[in-house]
């Protein structure tokens, strides 16, 4: 176990961690050095950082943090996290892929799952790794690229259709405060079809985890990819989750980010549509309570003509929690005939809760259809009365209305077992 | 069954009901008619328990219970049903799911176990037929995208499903074409029994051709100013409300 260095600043400690990992095989030394340099320039964001002003990251990172731990969970302990009966389970514990806990012995033809630390000899990996996420665009991309030492590389070969969902299970489990930088690369080749679920959970943890988790997804021509996220860590969980997606011609990408718990969750979802006739669906649902902070930043970059993107994020904010939605859409000069739609709707259940919502559309093409809308309100008193007048208690009337509000997003989950799991979780939340 | 004594109610400090007295017995149909602004909708809102209205005087006893002390849901569970003048649209909540929840909460209030799924389905089918409601509508979100007539039919369908003791139909005829009116009235008539009662609140006599009342009351300026047999409705239709106003003001 590495002991955390106690006296130096966090930046210094991150730098010394860099010295220990920089020669590992994950990515080239050059990539890592550039990333570290960029991180040192950008620094750890504070309240004055425009992109992170609603999340107190510098406060979260006060105190001592280690970079790795001996803690290992048992098969029995994580049983409940494998909530899909028929799935290819990939377990990543504290940012490290654990093959023993996973279920990848007999994979369908055309599917490869490789520990990312063993992937550098793979030609596709070397070609694609760290190619899409720009270290200079975001400090956590830089930090992750500099320090990542675990995760998986998933390769779906040309024309492969995988019916069984692939479930990436991120488990935080530690007895001392821990900074995690986990990194995945997913490459889906032309005409392939695949569904992913990525979940984040805390198991048997008595200290904070700060998980800077990042996934790059490359979707080649005509491929269809679903990517669903369930973020359900406990109050020890602090998560920065970056997803960098690159779509090629005629590909379809559908994603849904469901945030149920965790002290802090920041999602950076960046999608580049870099050819014609691409379809992108982004949905999100956040149910916040207590002192929770959830911040969804999305970026949809329309670079070429004739593409469609559709975005719907909904949130229910309780107690003193705070939620942020920041949705950027770029429609570049070449991207004529773009259809880009965005909507963010919120229900604020308490006077102390906060919602910040900021749609940002930048349109440089002149023949496009784009719209955005945002609304924040309380539960409708007329609806509550109508339900009560039929015999429903006030509580169950509210529950029914919240469930109805959430269902617009939940219904987009195309895996039935997952939808049922999420619905059950939501029902429990509204108890 | 229902006994209203000297009921006064106001909203935002303005008195709307100024001493209503009304006795309704099981098996009866009462019509409450009156010009616009006479307090008809306020009376139905107060009966259902809308919190915006403040009852300043009087009492409402329903089957021996003080209705004014009960929450809206407990009134419904005791058997009071209000068919809304303007039914609310609730996107995302399916009619069927909502009715199942309602029935089971009413049953729980009475200490009964939840209804068996097959019994519920059977009731659903039977009552749908009663109000000629398309099965597709029953499965859709509550009132979402329904036409005016469909919404009113859906109110009667809900009433049929919940089997109330006292049904209050608030301007159920407004905005209905003659076919929809016939269907809605037919539904109400088929649900009539010696154990339940109905209050029909309406501006026009038209509905009363189909739902024949035992007693007709005229509400004017927050008070019941005239009570009579079903012929009173015809007289009102013929002479208009002015003769009532003249009588009262004389």
A375 touches chain B (CB under 8 A): no
Distance between CA atoms of A49 and A62, rounded to whole angstroms?
Answer: 17
Q: Is the pLDDT of residue A8 over 70?
A: no
Alpha-carbon distances, residue A373 vs A131, A342, A407, B5 (angstroms): 33, 6, 19, 51
pLDDT tens digits for range B135-185: 777 788 999 988 888 899 899 999 999 999 999 999 888 878 888 888 888
pLDDT tens digits for range A306-342: 999 999 999 999 999 999 999 999 999 999 999 999 9
Q: What integer pLDDT is reported at residue A3 of this predicted model?
A: 45
Distance between CA atoms of B84 and B144, rounded to whole angstroms?
Answer: 15
User: Cβ–Cβ of B109/A407 closer than 8 Å?
Assistant: no
* Residues A150 and A230 reside in one and the same domain: yes
pTM above 0.90, yes or no: no
List of chain A residues whose C-beta atoms are within 8 Å of the C-beta of residue B87: 386
Q: Is the pLDDT of residue A149 over 90?
A: no
Q: How many domains, in total, are found in chain B?
A: 1
* Residues A53 and A185 reside in one and the same domain: yes
User: Cβ–Cβ of B105/A383 closer than 8 Å?
Assistant: no
User: Cβ–Cβ of A403/B102 closer than 8 Å?
Assistant: no
> N- to C-terminal Cα distance for chain B?
34
A70 touches chain B (CB under 8 A): no
- Of the residues A380, A389, A410, the best mutation for testing chain B's interface (the one with the most B CB atoms within 10 Å of its CB) is A389
**Mean of the per-residue pLDDT values of chain A:** 93
CA distance A315 to chain B (A): 15
* Residues A190 and A129 reside in one and the same domain: yes
Question: Does the residue A301 lie in any domain?
Answer: no
Domain, as residue range, for A411: 382-431
Question: Does the residue A296 lie in any domain?
Answer: no
Residues 72-131 of B with CB under 8 A from A: 72-73, 75-77, 81-82, 84, 87-88, 90-93, 97-99, 101-103, 105-106, 109
* Residues A59 and A181 reside in one and the same domain: yes
Question: Does the residue A73 lie in any domain?
Answer: yes
Among A275, A300, A334, the domain-final residue is A275
* Residues A269 and A391 reside in one and the same domain: no
Helix axes A29-42, A139-147, angle to 10 degrees: 140
ipTM: 0.95
Whose tokens are 């004389």? That residue is B250
Distance between CA atoms of A246 and A280, rounded to whole angstroms?
Answer: 11
Distance between CA atoms of A261 and A35, rounded to whole angstroms?
Answer: 30
- Secondary structure (3-state) at B171: coil
* Residues A40 and A89 reside in one and the same domain: yes
B163 touches chain A (CB under 8 A): no
A6-15, A43-52, A182-191, B62-71: which range is least confident on average?
A6-15
Residue pair A198/A121 in contact (Cβ under 8 Å)? The answer is no
Q: Is the pLDDT of residue A384 over 60?
A: yes
Q: How many CB pairs under 8 A join A and B?
A: 71
Nearest C-alpha neighbor of A169 from the set A229, A211, A250, A121: A229
Q: How many domains, in total, are found in chain A?
A: 3
Residue pair A230/A422 in contact (Cβ under 8 Å)? The answer is yes
Cβ-Cβ contacts under 8 Å for A258 (sequence gap 6 or more): A228, A229, A230, A231, A284, A285, A286, A409, A410, A422
User: Cβ–Cβ of B76/A391 closer than 8 Å?
Assistant: yes
Domain, as residue range, for B131: 2-249
Q: What integer pLDDT is reported at residue A2 of this predicted model?
A: 44
* Residues A144 and A246 reside in one and the same domain: yes
* Residues A248 and A316 reside in one and the same domain: no
Question: Does the residue A297 lie in any domain?
Answer: no
Average pLDDT in the A265-270 region?
98
Among A254, A275, A296, the domain-final residue is A275
B34 touches chain A (CB under 8 A): no
Residue pair B38/B221 in contact (Cβ under 8 Å)? The answer is yes
* Residues A173 and A196 reside in one and the same domain: yes
Q: What integer pLDDT is reported at residue A17 of this predicted model?
A: 85
Output the domain CATH number for residue B68.
3.40.50.300
A385 touches chain B (CB under 8 A): yes
Distance between CA atoms of A157 and A154, rounded to whole angstroms?
Answer: 10
**A405 or B235, higher pLDDT:** A405
User: Cβ–Cβ of A390/B48 closer than 8 Å?
Assistant: no
User: Cβ–Cβ of A389/B49 closer than 8 Å?
Assistant: yes
**Residues β-bridged to residue A298:** A269, A327
Among A275, A302, A328, the domain-final residue is A275
CA distance B76 to chain A (A): 5
Distance between CA atoms of A176 and B167, rounded to whole angstroms?
Answer: 64
Distance between CA atoms of B75 and B78, rounded to whole angstroms?
Answer: 5
Cβ-Cβ contacts under 8 Å for A404 (sequence gap 6 or more): B90, B91, B92, B93, B141
**A227 or A428, higher pLDDT:** A227
Cβ-Cβ contacts under 8 Å for A322 (sequence gap 6 or more): A54, A288, A292, A293, A294, A353, A354, A355, A356
Tokens of A381: 């008193």
Residues 179-218 of B with CB under 8 A from A: none
Distance between CA atoms of B127 and A245, rounded to whole angstroms?
Answer: 52
Q: What integer pLDDT is reported at residue A19 of this predicted model?
A: 86
Question: Does the residue A302 lie in any domain?
Answer: no
Alpha-carbon distances, residue A278 vs A220, A381, B53, B213 (angstroms): 11, 41, 55, 64
User: Cβ–Cβ of A401/B90 closer than 8 Å?
Assistant: yes
Tell me which residue in A387, A389, A405 faces B92 most closely, judged by beta carbons. Answer: A405
- Residue A25 — pLDDT band, cuts 50, 70, 90? low
Nearest C-alpha neighbor of B154 from the set B135, B168, B171: B135
- Of the residues A314, A382, A390, the best mutation for testing chain B's interface (the one with the most B CB atoms within 10 Å of its CB) is A390
Q: What integer pLDDT is reported at residue B8 of this predicted model?
A: 96
pLDDT (tens place) for every residue of chain B, 250 residues total: 999 999 999 999 999 999 999 999 999 999 999 888 899 999 999 999 999 999 999 999 999 999 999 999 999 999 999 999 999 999 989 899 899 999 999 999 999 999 999 999 999 999 988 888 877 777 889 999 888 888 998 999 999 999 999 999 998 888 788 888 888 888 889 888 999 999 999 888 888 888 999 999 999 999 999 999 988 888 888 888 887 878 777 7
A66-80, A187-201, A359-373, A410-424: which range is least confident on average?
A66-80
Distance between CA atoms of B165 and B188, rounded to whole angstroms?
Answer: 13
- Secondary structure (3-state) at B23: strand
Tell me which residue in A383, A389, A400 faces B101 most closely, judged by beta carbons. Answer: A400
Instruction: State which of A69-83, A261-275, B138-152 shows the largest mean pLDDT.
Output: A261-275
Cβ-Cβ contacts under 8 Å for A252 (sequence gap 6 or more): A223, A224, A225, A278, A279, A280, A281
Question: Does the residue A142 lie in any domain?
Answer: yes
Question: Does the residue A314 lie in any domain?
Answer: yes
Alpha-carbon distances, residue A198 vs A18, A111, A411, B197 (angstroms): 27, 17, 18, 57
* Residues A135 and A36 reside in one and the same domain: yes
Beta carbons within 10 angstroms of residue A356's beta carbon: 14
Minimal-distance CA residue of chain A relative to B100: A392
A193 touches chain B (CB under 8 A): no
Cβ-Cβ contacts under 8 Å for A210 (sequence gap 6 or more): A60, A61, A65, A177, A178, A179, A180, A238, A240
* Residues A336 and A417 reside in one and the same domain: no
**A267 or A427, higher pLDDT:** A267
Question: Does the residue A341 lie in any domain?
Answer: yes
* Residues A12 and A75 reside in one and the same domain: yes
């Amino acid at each position: 176990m590495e002991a955390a260095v106690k006296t130096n600043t966090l930046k210094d400690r991150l730098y010394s961690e860099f010295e220990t990992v920089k020669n590992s095989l994950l990515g080239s030394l050059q990539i890592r050095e550039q990333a570290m340099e960029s991180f040192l320039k950008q620094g750890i964001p504070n309240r004055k950082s425009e992109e992170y002003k609603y999340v107190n990251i510098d406060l979260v990172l006060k105190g001592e943090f280690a970079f790795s731990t001996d803690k290992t969970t048992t098969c029995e302990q994580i049983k409940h996290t494998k909530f899909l009966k028929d799935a290819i389970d990939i377990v990543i514990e504290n940012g490290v892929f654990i093959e023993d806990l996973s279920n990848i012995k007999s994979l369908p033809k055309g599917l490869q799952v490789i520990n990312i630390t063993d992937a550098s000899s793979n030609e596709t990996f070397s070609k694609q790794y760290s190619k899409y996420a720009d270290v200079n665009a975001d400090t956590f991309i830089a930090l992750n690229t500099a320090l990542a030492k675990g995760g998986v590389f998933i390769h779906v070969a040309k024309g492969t259709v995988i019916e069984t969902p692939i479930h990436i299970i991120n488990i935080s489990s530690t007895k001392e405060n821990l900074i995690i930088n986990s990194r995945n690369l997913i490459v889906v080749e032309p005409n392939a079809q695949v569904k992913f679920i990525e979940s984040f959970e805390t198991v048997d943890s008595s200290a904070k985890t700060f998980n800077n988790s990042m996934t790059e997804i490359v979707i080649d021509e005509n491929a269809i990819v679903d990517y669903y996220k369930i973020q359900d860590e406990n109050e020890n969980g602090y998560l920065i989750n970056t997803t960098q997606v690159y779509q090629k011609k005629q590909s379809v990408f559908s994603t849904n980010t469901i945030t149920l718990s965790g002290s802090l969750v920041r999602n950076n979802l960046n999608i580049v549509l870099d050819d014609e006739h691409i379809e992108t669906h982004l949905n999100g649902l956040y149910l916040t309570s207590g002192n929770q902070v959830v911040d969804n930043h999305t970026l949809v970059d329309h670079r070429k003509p004739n593409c469609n993107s559709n975005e719907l994020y909904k949130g229910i904010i309780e107690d003193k929690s705070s939620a942020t939605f920041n949705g950027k859409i770029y429609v570049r000069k070449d991207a004529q005939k773009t259809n880009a739609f965005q909507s963010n709707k919120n229900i604020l259940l308490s006077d102390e809760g906060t919602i910040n919502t900021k749609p940002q559309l930048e349109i440089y093409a002149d023949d496009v259809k784009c719209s955005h809308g945002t609304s924040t309100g309380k539960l409708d008193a007329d609806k509550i009365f109508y339900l009560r007048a039929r015999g429903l208690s006030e509580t169950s009337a509210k529950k029914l209305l919240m469930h109805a509000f959430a269902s617009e997003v939940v219904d987009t989950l195309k895996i039935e077992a997952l939808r049922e799991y999420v619905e059950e979780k939501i029902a429990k939340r509204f108890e | 069954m229902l006994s209203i004594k000297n009921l006064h109610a106001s909203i935002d400090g303005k008195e709307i009901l100024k001493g209503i007295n009304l006795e309704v017995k099981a098996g009866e149909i009462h019509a409450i008619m009156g010009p616009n602004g006479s307090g008809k909708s306020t009376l139905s809102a107060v009966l259902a328990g809308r919190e915006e209205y403040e009852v300043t005087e009087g009492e409402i006893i329903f089957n021996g219970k003080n209705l004014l002390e009960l929450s809206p849901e407990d009134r419904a569970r005791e058997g009071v049903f209000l068919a809304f003048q303007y039914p609310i649209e609730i996107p995302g909540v399916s009619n069927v799911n909502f009715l199942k929840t309602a029935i089971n909460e009413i049953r729980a209030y009475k200490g009964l176990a939840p209804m068996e799924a097959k019994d519920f389905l059977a009731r659903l089918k039977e009552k749908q037929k009663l109000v000629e409601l398309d099965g597709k509508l029953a499965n859709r979100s509550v009132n979402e995208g329904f036409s005016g007539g469909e919404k009113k039919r859906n109110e009667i369908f809900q009433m049929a499903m919940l089997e109330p003791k006292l049904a209050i139909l608030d301007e159920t005829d407004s905005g209905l074409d003659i076919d929809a009116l016939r269907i809605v009235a037919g539904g109400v008539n088929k649900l009539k029994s010696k154990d339940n009662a109905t209050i029909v609140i309406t501006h026009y006599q038209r509905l009363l051709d189909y739902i024949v009342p035992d007693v007709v009351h005229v509400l004017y300026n927050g008070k019941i100013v005239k009570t009579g047999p079903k012929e009173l409705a015809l007289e009102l239709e013929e002479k208009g409300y002015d003769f009532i106003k003249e009588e009262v003001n004389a």
